[in-house]
Amino acid sequence: MHLQNNTILITGGTSGFGYGFAARFIALGNTVIITGRNAEKLRETRQKLPAVHIIQSDVRNPEDIARLYRQVTHQFPALNILINNAGEMRKLIMQQPEQATDLTREIEINLMGPIRMTEQFLPHLKRQKNAAILNVTSGIALMPMPLTPVYSASKAGLRFFTQALRVQLKNTGVKVFELVAPGSPTPLNDQFKEVDGFNPKMLMPADKIIDQALKGMKKDTYEIYPGLFKVLRYVIRFFPGAMLSFAGKMGAQQMYAQPSLNR
């Protein structure tokens, strides 16, 4: 697809992949609107990227999505690309109930958010030329990370939703992409730096991932696997048990600690 002269809405554009997408798409001559919950971070992002348009909006909140739709389609009627990027990831240890408050948050942000965004924006996108939806899933959509069970479920769910949507939209002009992103040193991963088994060498710089994503979109490669996941996707398919046990090494000390006796 053409990656110039588009109008692109990116959820979660104030850091990491969302910021990287925004900077690259602006440099290519596109109009870019980003969202985020934190107004201060949005203002800082606009200082760094003066051409970016910012709208405060929480993808977890259906009323915010409806408001976002009204504002974007009013101010930017040429909107033709939606990037569902906003996401959160938390360590959650199910044997320690005190850690499990707000348990379904990643499902609401990472899975229900893109589903609701798609429902809201699809009729508009169907009327546009060169229209697309790109959903940012994760290598963790192919194989769970035991330390992040709800995140794993959210990304696996988003992957299946994306695949089903692609089939449903095959007779429309809306292309459906999935970026199966590998781990990257963005703020999302800050909380894992001290976790046993965390290996920063496994992470891929965000700008390289965005580079691969743009190349994939340009060539209409609907499932984009940057870096290690080009190969790991097959290893996971053929050796799922071994890969799951490998993934279970990260955070093992915390996961296998005995729950306190008074529970």
Ligand X SMILES: NC(=O)c1ccc[n+]([C@@H]2O[C@H](COP(=O)([O-])OP(=O)(O)OC[C@H]3O[C@@H](n4cnc5c(N)ncnc54)[C@H](OP(=O)(O)O)[C@@H]3O)[C@@H](O)[C@H]2O)c1
95-116 burial, b if ≥16 CB within 10 A, otherwise e?
A: eeeeeeeeeebbbbbbbbbbeb
Q: Is 151 a catalytic residue?
A: yes
**Closer CB to ligand X, residue 119 or residue 260?**
119
Under the criterion CB under 6 A, does residue 188 sit at the interface with ligand X? Answer: yes
15 binds ligand X (CB under 6 A): yes
Q: Name the residue among 145, 134, 158 with its Cα closest to residue 232.
A: 145
How many amino acids of this chain bind ligand X (CB under 6 A)? 32
- Interior angle at CA 8, CA 68 and CA 87, nearest 5: 65
- Considering the rule CB under 6 A, would residue 53 count as an interface residue with ligand X? no
- Half-sphere exposure in the Cβ direction for 95 (13 Å, CA): 12
Tell me, what amino acid is at 249?
K
Closer residue to ligand X in complex, CB, 50/262: 50
Give the span between the Cα atoms of 159 and 130, in whole angstroms: 22
Residue 130 makes contact with ligand X by CB under 6 A: no
Contact between 58 and ligand X per CB under 6 A: yes
Please select the residue that binds ligand X; options are 8, 92, 109, 117, rule is CB under 6 A. 109
CA end-to-end span of the chain: 55
- Does 181 engage in binding with ligand X (CB under 6 A)? yes
CA 105 to CA 82: how far, in whole Å? 22
Is 157 among the residues that bind ligand X (CB under 6 A)?
no
Give the residue, chosen from 30, 31, 184, 212, that forms a contact with ligand X under the rule CB under 6 A. 184
What are the beta bridge partners of residue 9? 33, 82
Which residue in 69, 151, 222, 234 is the catalytic one? 151
Please identify, using beta-carbon distances, which residue of 30 and 137 lies nearer to ligand X: 137
Nearer to ligand X, 58 or 125 (CB): 58
Interface map 220-259 toward ligand X (x if CB under 6 A): ----------------------------------------
Instruction: Give the distance from CA 135 to its chain's centroid.
Output: 6
Closest CA to 85 of 170, 22, 143: 22
Based on CB atoms, which residue is closest to ligand X, 110 or 120? 110
Q: Which residue is nearest to ligand X (CB)?
A: 16
Task: Compute the least distance from the CB of residue 207 to ligand X, in Å.
Answer: 12
Whole-angstrom distance, CA of residue 191 vs CA of residue 109: 18
The maximal CA–CA distance of the chain, rounded, in angstroms, is 61
Q: Are 25 and 5 in contact (CB under 8 A)?
A: no
Minimum distance of ligand X from residue 260's CB (angstroms): 31
186 binds ligand X (CB under 6 A): yes
Binding positions for ligand X, rule: CB under 6 A: 11-18, 35-38, 41, 58-60, 85-89, 109-110, 136, 138, 181, 183-184, 186-189
- Residues belonging to the active site: 151
